[in-house]
């Protein structure tokens, strides 16, 4: 047996017929109040005193600002290091051995640097003259 479907009509007082005209500023203020209320209820700040709310919000602001600052300062260099490691794993050490200069000549940074370092160490050990870079 199936249950009969009963439809009820809405009472007249529940039907919204008159919409108030509000300004954009009033709507914006109401939206900010709603978001503040949702924030306080979600994070359980509504049960704290005003001073405790200020302290909690200050600590939260401090942590978020430190996170944003750290991401702004250190994330680009960290991504560059990760990119260099990935390119090393994919391409091998070829990019580190040779590079192309502005006029198209091939420059070998790693080999030249190792040669200069080894010459400097040999000169220091033997007491010979030091080559200026």
- The per-residue pLDDT for range 54-96, each reduced to its tens digit, is 999 999 999 999 999 999 998 888 888 888 888 778 876 655 5
Q: Which two tokens stand for residue 38?
A: 């949702």
Q: Are 97 and 111 in contact (CB under 8 A)?
A: yes
Question: Which of 19-28, 41-50, 101-110, 114-123 has the largest mean confidence?
Answer: 41-50
DSSP 44: T
Q: What is the DSSP letter of 100?
A: E
Average model confidence (pLDDT) for the chain? 77
pLDDT at position 85 = 83
Q: Are 86 and 93 in contact (CB under 8 A)?
A: no
- pLDDT, residue 54, reads 95
pLDDT exceeds 90 at position 119: no
Bigger pLDDT: 26 vs 132: 26
Neighbours of 120 (CB within 10 A): 13
Burial class (CB in 10 A: 0-12, 13-18, 19+), 45: middle
- For the chain, the structural domain boundaries read 94-133
Q: How far is CA 91 from CA 41, 51, 65, 86, 104, in A?
A: 53, 58, 38, 8, 21
């Amino acid at each position: 047996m199936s249950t009969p479907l009963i439809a009820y009509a809405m009472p007249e007082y529940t039907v919204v017929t008159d919409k108030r005209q509000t300004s954009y500023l009033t709507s914006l203020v109401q939206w900010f109040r709603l978001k503040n209320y949702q924030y306080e209820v979600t994070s359980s700040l509504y049960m704290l005193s005003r001073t405790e709310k200020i302290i909690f919000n200050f600590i939260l602001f401090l942590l978020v600002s430190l996170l944003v600052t750290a991401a702004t300062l250190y994330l680009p260099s960290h991504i560059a290091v990760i990119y260099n490691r990935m390119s090393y794993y994919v391409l091998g050490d070829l990019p580190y051995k040779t590079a192309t200069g502005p006029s198209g000549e091939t420059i070998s940074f790693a080999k030249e640097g190792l040669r200069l370092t080894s010459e400097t160490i040999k000169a220091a050990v033997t007491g010979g003259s030091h080559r200026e870079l």
